[in-house]
């Protein structure tokens, strides 16, 4: 749904809303891994006396840790939901979706299932050239107008995710028991590595679509601990787990310089546009989303 201001902003850059569109997918999410859990720390010294003297590394999903299987199924589910929303947009004759909101919630009466849902407003540009596949974007009507006026177009709504697991080794245990104020180096490293991997995953997707950049919509970080599944004794040892989710819209440039007029000035998409800017926009829209069919 669009506000009056958003509607006016879309019209100012030559787009018209054509309808509300949604995509949904319900996935059963199981846990994988040699220890019956995808959150395997991979720490060889787990369970040894004193929790092991060798430093524990971070088992990162982006480098092939067991949690990669979980990240993969969540990514597939999100892509499926976004793809179905884009299909609805195409059926309405739209060229793209703005103000797309992505949610992930437990499915009622099925604790191991998640519903991935994305909803947004389909828009259509004036002119005869249509993209092969609709673009998707989290930007609202005002943000979309500013983007187009500045010489950019959205390509695809993307999600970069990473999961990292680290075992509490001997050094971490001593730091926790210390009476001195000090940094928990292992936990700091865990968070740093997971954030960096999430950015890397998002960047790889941007490059895969042939886009020139990304506008970040949201970034969320969670952290919790659980008993280490590698330990089969009375002494409880724990693993610390961090996941990071980054949502953004890949964008591509269609004009070398932004419009000299105001932020929401008219950027006509009609055929009689004298400076050819509208024609370049329509062509860039078609080129920018061409890679969508490959995904």
The 10s digit of each residue's pLDDT in 171-188 is 888 888 888 898 999 999
Rg (CA), the chain: 23
pLDDT number for residue 292: 47
Residue pLDDT, tens place only, 43-68 = 888 876 555 568 899 999 999 999 99
Q: What is the pLDDT of residue 35?
A: 46
Please state the rounded mean pLDDT for residues 135-162: 95
Average pLDDT, the chain: 84
| Six-digit token string for 167 | 């075992």
- Reported as a single tens digit per residue, the pLDDT across 227-249 is 888 887 656 788 999 999 999 99
Compute φ and ψ for 170, nearest 5 degrees: -60, -40
- Contacts (Cβ under 8 Å, ≥6 apart) of 78: 102, 104, 116, 118, 159
Q: Is the pLDDT of residue 120 over 90?
A: yes
Beta bridge partners of 21: 120
Place of tokens 């569109």: 21
For every residue of 21-40, DSSP letters joined together read: EEEEEEEE----STTS-S--
Instruction: Answer left, alpha or beta for residue 151, where phi above 0 means left and psi between -120 and 50 means alpha.
Output: left
| CA distances, 210 to each of 126, 203, 204, 250 (Å) | 24, 11, 10, 9
| C-alpha triplet 189, 194, 195: angle, nearest 5° | 100
Kindly report which listed range (91-105, 219-233, 258-272) carries the lowest average pLDDT score.
Answer: 258-272
Phi-psi region of 20 (alpha: psi -120 to 50; beta: other; left: phi over 0): beta
pLDDT value of residue 283: 61
Query: What average pLDDT score do residues 215-236 get?
Result: 85
pTM (whole model) above 0.85 = no
pLDDT given for residue 214 in this prediction: 95
Tell me what pLDDT residue 287 has.
59
Helix (H, G, I), strand (E, B) or coil at 207: helix
Integer Cα distance of 280 and 269 in angstroms: 10
Dist. CA 144–CA 153, nearest whole Å: 8
31 has pLDDT over 60 = yes
Query: Given pLDDT bands bounded at 50, 70 and 90, which one contains residue 261?
Result: very low
* β-strands 135-136, 96-107 pairing: parallel
Percent of the chain with pLDDT over 90: 59
Distance CA 15, CA 17 (A): 7
Maximal C-alpha separation, the chain: 79
Higher per-residue confidence, 179 vs 282 = 179
Helix axes 170-177, 185-208, angle to 10 degrees: 120
């Amino acid at each position: 749904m669009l506000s009056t201001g958003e509607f006016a902003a879309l019209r100012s850059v030559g787009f018209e809303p054509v309808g509300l569109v949604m995509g949904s997918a319900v996935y059963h999410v199981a846990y994988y891994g040699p220890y019956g859990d995808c959150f395997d720390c991979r720490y060889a010294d787990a369970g040894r006396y004193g929790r092991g003297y060798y430093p524990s590394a971070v088992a990162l999903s982006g480098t092939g840790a067991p949690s990669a299987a979980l990240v993969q199924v969540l990514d597939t589910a999100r892509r499926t939901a976004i793809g179905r929303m884009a299909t609805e947009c195409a059926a309405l004759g739209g060229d793209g979706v703005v103000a797309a909101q992505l949610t992930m919630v437990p499915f009622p009466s099925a604790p191991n299932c998640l519903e991935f849902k994305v909803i947004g407003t389909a828009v259509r540009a004036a002119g005869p050239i249509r993209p092969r596949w609709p673009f998707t974007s989290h930007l609202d009507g005002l943000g979309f107008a500013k983007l187009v006026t500045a010489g950019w177009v959205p390509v695809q709504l993307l999600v970069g995710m990473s999961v990292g697991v680290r075992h509490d080794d001997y050094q971490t245990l001593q730091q926790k028991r210390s009476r001195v104020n000090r940094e928990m180096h292992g936990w700091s490293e865990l968070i740093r590595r997971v954030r960096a991997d999430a950015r890397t995953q998002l960047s790889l997707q941007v490059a895969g679509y042939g886009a020139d950049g990304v506008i970040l919509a949201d970034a969320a970080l969670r952290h919790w601990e659980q008993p280490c599944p590698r330990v089969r004794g009375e002494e409880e040892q724990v693993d610390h787990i961090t996941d990071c989710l980054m949502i953004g819209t890949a964008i591509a440039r269609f004009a070398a310089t932004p419009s000299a007029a105001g932020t929401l000035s008219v950027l006509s998409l009609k055929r009689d546009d004298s400076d050819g800017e509208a024609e370049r926009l329509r062509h860039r829209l078609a080129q920018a989303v061409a890679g969508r069919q490959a995904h």
